[in-house]
Structure 1
Amino acid sequence: MTLFTKDLIAVAQSPLAHWLTSLPAQLQQWQQQQQHGELPKWLRCVAQLPQLEPTAVALGATVSVLNDSISDGQQQRIKGLLMQLTPWRKGPFNLHGVQIDTEWRSDFKWQRVAPHIGDLSGQQVLDVGCGSGYHLWRMLESGAEQVWGIDPGQLFMAQFMAVRSFMPTDLQARAHWFPLGIEDMPELKAFDTVFSMGVLYHRRSPIDFLTQLKAQLKQGGQLVLETLVVTGDEQTVLVPGETYAKMRNVWFIPSTKALLHWLERCGFKNARVVDENVTSLAEQRATEWMPGQSLVDFLDPHDTSKTIEGYPAPLRAVIIANT
């Protein structure tokens, strides 16, 4: 378990120590399973990144790590290795002068979320479906003591490991990532805040998913839920056909009123909608670091208020709820 040894030590030294009753065995099982065919290459790329002592770190809109004395050759080597980890979907990052312009301007989402989450100082924070971990660094910026990301995506894991390898030791020790889904999590009831951003509509059973999120929160904790929604009343839920905006794994898109009702049924308290926003072509687009199709290709070319299938274009909401 050399990939996760330091992270397991961090678990043991945290209020999450009871997670060790299941986590090491899960990680061992994961390492014994059939992995993505590209994973060894991705991990080699991470291992070959030059280790440079950072002279400046900023966990702002662009998560940045800089070294004043980096050579052109080192910078080109970093870019070449990081390009082997494409597509980069969540960011942006500036890693020793290499600007990773990701598909999503995830800082836009954070600007909508951050004013409503309160002070994270001293908190244990979980991000479910964290991708490459961009928001984990923003959570640390907001004062979290430890941030824990889970996501089954192995390319995302390599991207997170690459970014973390450039961070100073103190930040490396506070940011963690495990290749797990929420269904792999025991009922820890230990996190002060749980984030789930861009995941709910991918779940076949949204009620089970909300219940699983609640099981991770301590009493009085907060859930930060960001997801696709549609307009409508408490009974309105869009169940797309084979695809929604060319995504095949979209199952349920509720109205905000329906979602608030679901949260209440699951036992959450004080659920409230704090933001709604139509996804713009500036927020999600193809770039050098994600050269495939993106939002512009998923919308009706004659009416961008609709998806290519004729459904309402992506509308995203942020909901805060408590246990």
Structure 2
Amino acid sequence: MVGILAAMNRDQIRRRVEELAPWYQNIDLGDGVWTKDLEGSRDIFSGHDIPGPLWRVIARDLPADLSGHRVLDIGCNAGYMSFQTKQMGADYVLGIDSNLGAGTSFIHQAEFCRSVLGLDVDFREQSFFDYTPEQPFTLVLFCGVLYHLEDFATALDKVMTFAVPDTGLIVLETAVEPITQTRPGLRDYNGDTSTFFVPSVGVLTELVRERGLRIEIVRTLGTRAVVFMRPPL
């Protein structure tokens, strides 16, 4: 896939970034253009460089070369992690997102970034609950999604079906608290009314273990946790 930099100049790309705002993810489009205005207030969690710091934590426990891998990025948003895994050599990358009622289309943002970056990544606007792959993935990223789901147990069961049995790697990242919280209705969590389930690390790890997932790595990052795990055979 050929990027559109030859057809769009820097100012045109910046104008399109503004048209697609607000942005949650801060993606480097080259030539000093980023999707997020970290100095302004037009974006979601303005001033926060999301998800670069988180990705660097995740990437250090991934193979440096993802050649031969099929990657599924659930809750891909504007495609940051999808693009990163493709740049690491993944054979095939699919980002999927349902927007969760957001006022902007994350997939439209992702497709624009894909065109600018010239990366061969597929995107799909769909709930992952309704997605059935033609073949399983060797790497599944499930980041920033679990705490938005009321049916978190069924979600984990579904995510397991996406990974190659036994050897596939699932990377789960979610919000955590010292004591598990459930937040029904419109009770906000750090200003987010779409949060329903914020487990403790202990509850989170027991929840995935009882579903047959084998935990390899757990990293806690303040109010977030990252879990690397393998599905059962």
TM-score range, shorter chain: 0.7 to 0.9
1:162-173 matched pairs, under 5 angstroms = 162-168=112-118, 171-172=119-120
Shift of 1:158: 1.2
Q: Distance in 1 between matches of 2:153 and 2:35?
A: 36
Q: Is structure 2 residue 129 aligned with structure 1 residue 129?
A: no
Partner of 1:223: 170
Q: 1:80 and 1:115, CA in 2 relative to 1: closer, same or farther beyond 3 A?
A: same
Q: Distance in 1 between matches of 2:74 and 2:137?
A: 12
Question: Are the counterparts in 2 of residues 189 and 215 from structure 1 also a CA contact under 8 Å?
Answer: no
Q: 1:203 and 1:87, CA in 2 relative to 1: closer, same or farther beyond 3 A?
A: same
Q: 1:87 and 1:239, CA in 2 relative to 1: closer, same or farther beyond 3 A?
A: same
Q: 116, 130, 133: which one pairs with 2:61? A: 116
Question: Are the counterparts in 1 of residues 215 and 227 from structure 2 also a CA contact under 8 Å?
Answer: no
Asked which structure has the greater CA Rg, the reply is 1
Match of 2:142, SS?
strand
Q: Distance in 2 between matches of 1:266 and 1:189?
A: 22
Partner of 2:213: 268
One-letter amino acid of the structure 2 residue matched with residue 86 of structure 1: A
Deviations 1:67-107 (A, max 9, x none): xxx8xxx3222212220100011123234443333544211
Q: Distance in 2 between matches of 1:214 and 1:206?
A: 13
Deviations 1:28-74 (A, max 9, x none): xxxxxxxxxxxxxxxxxxxxxx93349xxxxxxxxxxxxxxx8xxx3
Partner of 2:146: 200
Partner of 2:40: none
Gapped runs of 5+ residues in structure 1? Answer: 1-5, 7-49, 55-69, 279-314
Q: Distance in 2 between matches of 1:187 and 1:53?
A: 34
Match of 2:109, SS?
helix
Gapped runs of 5+ residues in structure 2? Answer: 38-45
One-letter amino acid of the structure 1 residue matched with residue 168 of structure 2: G
Q: Distance in 1 between matches of 2:5 and 2:12?
A: 13
Q: Distance in 2 between matches of 1:109 and 1:266?
A: 26
Q: Distance in 2 between matches of 1:272 and 1:81?
A: 40
1:1-323 matched pairs, under 5 angstroms = 51-53=4-6, 74-101=9-36, 103=46, 104-105=48-49, 106-118=51-63, 119-153=65-99, 155-168=105-118, 171-172=119-120, 175-186=121-132, 190-219=136-165, 220-231=167-178, 236-240=179-183, 242-273=187-218, 275-278=219-222, 315-323=223-231
Q: Which segment drifts farther, 177-186 or 116-125?
A: 116-125
Partner of 1:27: none
Question: Are the counterparts in 1 of residues 143 and 172 from structure 2 also a CA contact under 8 Å?
Answer: yes
Identical aligned pairs, as a percentage?
26
Which structure has the highest helix share of the two?
1
